[in-house]
Amino acid sequence: MLRAIPTAEQFAIQFNLDSCSERYMEYKEIQTALKSLKIKLRELSQVYGERAIVAWIQTWLISLSMYMNFEITEQQAISTATTILEECYMLNIVEFNLLFRKMKKGNYGIFYGKFNGQTIIKACIQFRKERGLILSKMSEEEQKKIMS
């Protein structure tokens, strides 16, 4: 996958929220997204650099804000994207997509017509807790496969 996408800009274009939602549509549960074994945000940061992945996450936040019809400032997007990367570096790209799809559906809180970075970070933390619970119920062998 990454050999075919040599630059961060090309990656960001091909893996925007809308294209990922379509590409990973069949992953509706955290467990199946977790077991997809796709590339993790941490690995994307290693390949393209942390700044590029923060910028990519910003595009997801902007897309989310447009979907929910609220405004987001550049500073809010940068700050929230940086925190998301810190909180969610272990998620693979399918899990990350599922997290944003769940936020769109209101699974992790309501925004009440304005951007709220804390609501988004709380959603990330809740998603990670759900993920952790699923991981804890897996065999050690399955866990090693996912965590590597």
Dist CA 73 CA 62 (whole Å):
9
Dist CA 126 CA 103 (whole Å):
11
| 2 pLDDT tier (thresholds 50, 70, 90) | low
Average pLDDT, the chain: 92
| 6 pLDDT tier (thresholds 50, 70, 90) | confident
Longest dimension (CA), the chain: 45
Distances (CA, A) of 142 to 135, 137, 139: 8, 10, 5
Over residues 127-140, mean pLDDT: 95
Task: Please report, rounded to a whole number, the percentage of residues in the chain having pLDDT higher than 70.
Answer: 97
pLDDT one-digit tens code per residue, 65-98: 999 888 999 999 999 999 999 999 999 999 999 9
Task: Say if residues 53 and 44 touch (Cβ distance below 8 Å).
Answer: yes
Distances (CA, A) of 46 to 1, 35, 55: 15, 21, 14
Does 1 score more than 60 pLDDT?
Answer: no
Over residues 120-142, mean pLDDT: 95
| 3 pLDDT tier (thresholds 50, 70, 90) | low
Backbone angles phi, psi at 113, to 5 degrees: 80, 10
- Domain layout of the chain by residue ranges: 7-147
pTM of the model: 0.92
Query: What b/e readout covers 42-75, taking b as 16+ CB neighbours within 10 angstroms?
Result: eebbeebebebbbbbbbbbbbbbbeebeeebeee
